[in-house]
Structure 1
Amino acid sequence: MNSLKEALGILLKEQYAPYLVSSLYLRLAPEDRTDRKYLRVFKDMVKAQRESLELRGLERDVINSAVEDFERMEEFLSKPENLENCGGIALFSCSAKKVFVPIKLPYTYRNRLMVAPDPLVREIAAIDEELGIIGVLLIDRKHVRFFLMDFEGIGEVSDFLEPLATRAHKFHSGGASLKGAQGTFRYSMPSRASAPNMVQHGIGEYRFHMRIQEEKHRLFKIANDALMEAWKENKFNKLVIGSIREDIREIENHLHPYLLNMLVGYVRINPSEATEHTVRNAVLELLWQKDREQEEELVNTLLDLEGKGLAVEGLSKVLEQLYMGNVKTLLVAENFERSGYFCPVSNIPVLEPKCPTEEEPYPVEDIVDEVIELALEERAVVEVIVREDLQKKFDGVGALLRWKI
């Protein structure tokens, strides 16, 4: 499979007229993979698109090319090995031009299948921007590992830290391999000698616990120093920390404010057993959980700002604001669908079969797909509300606005 840059290069250099490009975004979460549910979802979308194509007044060879696109997509999706290590897939096809490009995604906004004059790649760009570059620190008593993760994958930065080893007689920092903290610390056990008449085992126990505490804080400080060096080199914009230590959150007392502001959360993972695949899955699961936690805040913000003229809900009102470029954040209930029309010249979705210019709209099975695409074109943030109880609180779609109406 091509890299993201290569895939987009292939898609964007081609001239597709008079043919159309089929663009598919398909979610592949674990629940979607059960009994290959995603294939049933895809076939339902294909059925709706084939009916829509017949109503668009297209040339027969253009329709045949799109139908062949659907067949090629189904063939690709039928092979499980094509769908490994991703939370979603984007497929772009124009059979008449011999173009077929798959792109694995960490996630998708929702399932969408569209047929348009050009490949609809804005969602990929938006996801890439949202995800950014994530630094992942794994730490326990004997290991400190660092990974960099982005849209395309994850890789361990092998020269970030060598494993830290605790010895009964000293604490050492990792030597020359530790960037930013080379040879900084050396800890020696206190003398075994003591004053006369002292209880030896009591002092030893006290010193043992103090040594453990000091060792922990020095380890956390070393990790912070090395993280700062890594940030200077790679400029990651999110930080995730993984550990099986019960006291791992105490590392926040040592993190630089820059790093603390980037901290997304923690994942429970054993550094000595972690692989790139398990780390990536754990981080994506954490991000998914964080999105679910933010849903309630987003919906409450929508309802609060609606009375102040800074938000609207309902498809017609949201479309009105999209036409003016006044949507900052688009909220879409995951299960909301509505039929409508699309104006192919002005590239806007409408609820009634009437375009603002002299052009003939064609019907679409689900206008919400086109609403999302228009929002992405206007650089709005798209938030899909998954929780069913929150979906009932607003009218299918809502928008936080850029300026007051």
Structure 2
Amino acid sequence: MVDKRELEELSTFQSGGYFVASLYLNVDGKRFNKKDYEIKLKDLIKQRNQELEQLGIADEARESLQQDFEKMMNYVSYEFDGRGAKSLAIFSCSALGLWKVFRLPQAVHPRLVVSKQPYIRPLAALLEENKRYLTVLISRDKARIFDYYMGELEEVTKILDEVPGKVRIAGWYGLAERRIERNIEDKVHRHFKHVADAVMEYSRKTPPDFYIIGGRRETLPEFERHLHTDILKRIVARIEIDPEAPTAEVREEVERAVEEYEEAEKKRLLEKLFEEAGANGLGVLGLKPTLKALWNGQVSVLFVTEDYVRQGYYCPECYYMSADETVCPYDGTEMKISHDIFEDAVETAILQNCEVVRVKDASVLEKYEHMGALLRFKL
């Protein structure tokens, strides 16, 4: 797993007279066997070596890169066990001791980039694209808080407060019993406040995008009265579950809740896209108008068909993207080939703080060249 602190460290790395090799490689065992991604890496290294021969870089820098390529090949072939990752991101500069490996729970576009700094753009996009869900499981005396991010569930806090169970005591017209019950309810409310404060404290340190609340159905409304208004607005699911359930069961319920919420949100946004585009409003459909809107900073939500790949071109100066233009219409720069203009568009959108919707059903956007966008404004 990678966090933003590590990303910031990579972004400040200076290679001096050397280069950094940045590798992104799909290693999902359900889609590829080890031989498949070993061959893919060999092909990427071969392509980069052919390009490096034409650049005439210094011998020391070239030797460092060859060591980088060799270390990457050895890691993938002999050290990586294929578990717990769908893709790898590796950054290496052997001459300066840089070697970072990240196991990622999602697929990436495979590429090997040689540059003066770590090529972190796809990694930054991946971090931004994934939403963080904070899950709170609550009972009248216990609570567990889980952080769900990029397909991984981590229990971050466990709270146990002393709250007596309900009692029945004979007394003068039941006064003693009612007094004890009031004391118990007071302790329950103190417990709920304790948990609500813990949720707020964790949220300040590691801000989640959304919240999931779980427990006995009758307990949840009582607890939610203690939560901050901002948290209440971002509760996307309530699940009925034993707060002491095994972590595997919690994971299953959280993943189901996240999938249901995200699929419903995708459906809502797609309906809005076709409505806005059909009314000539704040929506565009098609590759060319969407890429132009993205370059203009108009895009609010980008829609692409999941796993669709198409070659295109981009301007190295202003990062204008096109499916077929080879010269930038804005500054006259010769455009460079993008092996996957869709993934480049996704990365650009995320770095512009746009939301990205990947549509699984290819037929939905097929006649619009698999791309569309909701806009912030029209020009």
Aligned to 2:9: 9
Q: Which amino acid in structure 2 is aligned with residue 100 of structure 1?
A: W
**Matching residue of 2:197:** 229
Q: 2:356 maps to what in 1?
A: 382
Change (3 A) 1:112 1:99: same
Matched, 1:303 2:266: no
SS at match of 1:157: strand
Letter in 2 for 1:333: T
In 2, Cα distance between equivalents of 1:292 and 1:74: 38
1:253-309 C-alpha deviation (Å, 9 max, x unpaired): 64544432121324566543545x875676456434422232222222211111333
The residue number in structure 1 matching 2:261 is 290
Deviation string for 1:13-57 (max 9, x for gaps)? 22366746424264x7xxx43265587468558747855885798
Matched, 1:337 2:335: no
Question: 2:289: which partner in 1?
Answer: 317
Matching residue of 1:204: none
Corresponding residue number in structure 1 for 2:30: 34
Distance 1:287 1:271 in 2: 18
For the Cα contact (< 8 Å) 2:140–2:191, is it kept in 1? Answer: no
TM-score calculated relative to the size of structure 1: 0.68
**Given that residues 128 and 350 in structure 2 are in contact (C-alpha distance below 8 angstroms), is that contact kept between their aligned partners in structure 1?**
no
* 1:302-324, Cα deviation, whole Å (9 max, x unpaired): 11111333121222112212222
Aligned-pair CA distance for 1:102: 2.1
> Cα offset for 1:227?
3.6
Q: Which residue in the other structure is 1:111 paired with?
A: 109
Determine if the alignment matches structure 1 residue 101 to structure 2 residue 100.
yes
Matched, 1:355 2:345: no
Quick one: which amino acid aligns to residue 115 of structure 1?
V
Q: Take 2:188 and 2:368, find their aligned partners in 1: how far apart are those partners?
A: 45
1:59 aligns with 2:36: no
Please give the alpha-carbon distance, in whole angstroms, between the structure 2 residues aligned to 1:192 and 1:387: 67
Q: Deviations over 1:55-93 (max 9, x none)?
A: 798426689977765664454445455753x67543334
User: 1:334 Cα deviation (Å)?
Assistant: 0.8
- Contact 1:22–1:92 (8 Å) recurs in 2: yes
Alignment match, 1:198: none
Give ranges in structure 1 of 5+ residues lacking alignment: 171-187, 196-206
Rounded to whole Å, the distance in 2 between the matches of 1:190 and 1:313 is 71
Residues 367/6 of structure 1: CA separation in 2 closer, same or farther (3 Å cut): closer
Query: Measured at CA, do residues 215 and 25 of structure 1 come closer, stay the same or move farther in structure 2, by a change above 3 Å?
Result: farther
Aligned partner of residue 160 in structure 2, secondary structure: coil
Q: Distance in 2 between matches of 1:95 and 1:265?
A: 47
Q: Measure, in 1, the Cα distance between the counterparts of 2:71 and 2:140.
A: 51
Q: Tell me, in whole angstroms, the C-alpha distance in 2 between the residues paired with 1:96 and 1:132.
A: 36
**How far apart are residue 403 of structure 1 and its match?**
0.9
In the TM superposition, what is the alpha-carbon distance from 1:396 to its structure 2 partner? Answer: 1.0
The one-letter code sitting in structure 2 at the alignment partner of 1:139 is I
Distance 1:107 1:394 in 2: 26
Contact 1:88 1:106 in 2 (8 A): yes
How far has the Cα of 1:136 moved from its partner?
Answer: 2.6
Q: For the structure 1 residues 193 and 218, does the alpha-carbon distance in structure 2 shift closer, same or farther, using more than 3 Å as the test? A: closer
Per the alignment, residue 373 of structure 2 pairs with 399
| CA separation of 1:252 and 1:149: change in aligned 2, threshold 3 A | same
- C-alpha change, 1:55 and 1:399, in structure 2 (3 Å) is farther
What is the TM-score normalised by the length of structure 2?
A: 0.71
The 3 A distance-change label for structure 1 pair 95 and 300 is farther
Distance 1:71 1:7 in 2: 24
